[in-house]
Amino acid sequence: MLPTRWLSVLCFTAWLFSPAAAAASKEEINADVRAAVQNFYRHTGAGKELAQKAAGMLVFPNVIKAGIGIGGEYGEGALLVKGKTAAYYNIAAASIGFQLGAQARSQIVLFMNENALAGFRRSQGWTAGVDGSVALATLGAGGSIDTETAKKPVIGFIFSNKGLMYNLTFEGSKISRFDP
């Protein structure tokens, strides 16, 4: 028999990953994506410059991560190609280990060339670190991005952290296409 605390965590994690828990409409997702992109552009000129060069931009405006020993994350977003919504995706991950807290953040993945974008779009469920390596961008002095990171085919940005958990990674996150 599981202790009540673990049962609560399992129930919360199941709810977090259920499609009905956060299923938003296309209009809601598009509005949130536009707001996240504007916020991103306001905070990093270098990110905006890279985004304008990218073949595609995958935007998750609100990824929620929570855990008490067992954790999970979930968010919905859209792939933008030439500034237009091309498809809708969700991101999900589960983890076990020392963790306590919750956070909300925005995530943007830039596909810097057509090959990287095509590989992502062909996949049935793309897992960061397995199907594609994401170079996590860190901003230096003056909002500049490391030149080695800027050369990578897939670049990720995590921003607007709100909450009590700190984990800046894409590794192990599964990204799947869905139809809202």
Whether residue 99 has pLDDT greater than 80: no
Express each pLDDT in 109-165 by its tens digit: 999 999 999 999 998 777 765 445 676 776 554 555 666 677 889 988 888 766 554
pLDDT score for 60: 96
Average pLDDT for the chain: 78
Spatial distance between the Cα atoms of 76 and 18, rounded to a whole number of angstroms: 12
Whether residue 77 has pLDDT greater than 90: yes
Whether residue 22 has pLDDT greater than 90: no
Q: Which helix (H) or strand (E) segment is 7 a member of?
A: helix 4-17
> Where are the extended beta strands (E) located within 28-153?
56-81, 84-111, 126-127, 135-136
Q: How confident is the model at residue 166 (pLDDT cuts 50, 70, 90)?
A: very low
pLDDT score for 4: 42
By C-alpha distance, which of 175, 155, 163, 151 is closest to 76? Answer: 175
pLDDT score for 6: 41
pLDDT score for 159: 80
Whether residue 169 has pLDDT greater than 70: no
pLDDT score for 18: 47
pLDDT score for 120: 92
Give the mean pLDDT of 84-96.
92
pLDDT score for 3: 45
